[in-house]
Amino acid sequence: MNVVLVDAGGTNIGSVRYALQRLGVDACLTSDADEIRSADKVILPGVGAAGPGMARLRELQLIDVIRSLSQPVLGVCLGMQLLCEHSEEGDTPCLGVIPAKVHRFEEAPGQCVPHMGWNRLSAVAAHPLLKQMNEGDWAYFVHSYAVPLGTYTLVSTDYGKGFSSVIGHRNFHGMQFHPERSASVGATLLKNFLEL
């Protein structure tokens, strides 16, 4: 299976690549448009801010490439947010392949921003990506911005109010948490993505 990691400058690329190696897949790290187009599966990892993330994709001339993909695509953490239409972070237009807008968490008593640490997953839609995920499984999050609940939501998580922790629309999917740091549930969901 030909799996590529889009080299968009995210600092979690190494850990995502290692998580895939544990599943028996040696993913190629690339910013080459032809390699991305010809891959069986494409993963867009990312840690950082929406503005610089989109600027990097623009610099690499990958925005239209990613938008045109028809194979399964997975955005991880910031990569998931970049798949959406717009992010409040820096008032940034994003890739627009998932019909959602990204909002900053509201600070509240007992609710720190960023949302950091382990939190529970709750499936809201049946999808092959969620095979063998159990209700209430825990995943590891680090983020200040989130995708609200919508028709694209596959899994929700509560932090003051519900937000989308896994999304899906056509061939595009996203995981807000870090599957590479989320123990067995992260490995299960990555494996499911590879089997889509």
pLDDT tens for each residue of 59-96? 999 999 999 999 999 999 999 999 999 999 999 999 99
Residue 6 has pLDDT above 70, yes or no: yes
Q: Is 85 exposed, middle or buried (0-12, 13-18, 19+ CB in 10 A)?
A: middle
Q: Are strands 153-159 and 138-143 parallel, antiparallel or unpaired?
A: unpaired
Of the candidates 77, 89, 115, 173, the residue annotated as catalytic is: 77
Q: Is 28 a catalytic residue?
A: no
More confident residue, 12 or 195: 195
More confident residue, 38 or 109: 38
Residue 12 has pLDDT above 80, yes or no: no
Q: Is 173 a catalytic residue?
A: no
Three-class secondary structure of residue 49 per DSSP: coil
Q: What share of the chain is helix, strand, coil (3-state, %, to 5)?
A: 30, 35, 40
In the sheet that holds 84-87, the strands lie side by side as 92-93, 84-87, 98-104, 145-146
All domains of the chain in start order, with CATH? 3-194 (3.40.50.880)
Q: Is 77 a catalytic residue?
A: yes
pTM of the shown model = 0.96
Kindly indicate the confidence band of residue 108, based on its pLDDT and cuts at 50, 70 and 90: confident
What is the residue type of 21? Answer: Q
Residue 169 sits at the vertex; the CA angle it makes with 166 and 171, to the nearest 5 degrees, is: 105
Per-residue model confidence (pLDDT) at position 11: 62
Kindly indicate the confidence band of residue 14, based on its pLDDT and cuts at 50, 70 and 90: confident
Of the candidates 143, 169, 173, 178, the residue annotated as catalytic is: 178
Of the candidates 88, 173, 180, 195, the residue annotated as catalytic is: 180
Per-residue model confidence (pLDDT) at position 78: 95
Three-class secondary structure of residue 100 per DSSP: strand
| C-beta separation of 3 from 40 below 8 A | yes
E-strand ranges in 40-96 read 41-44, 73-76, 84-87, 92-93
Nearest 10 degrees: Cα torsion 169, 156, 193, 56: 70
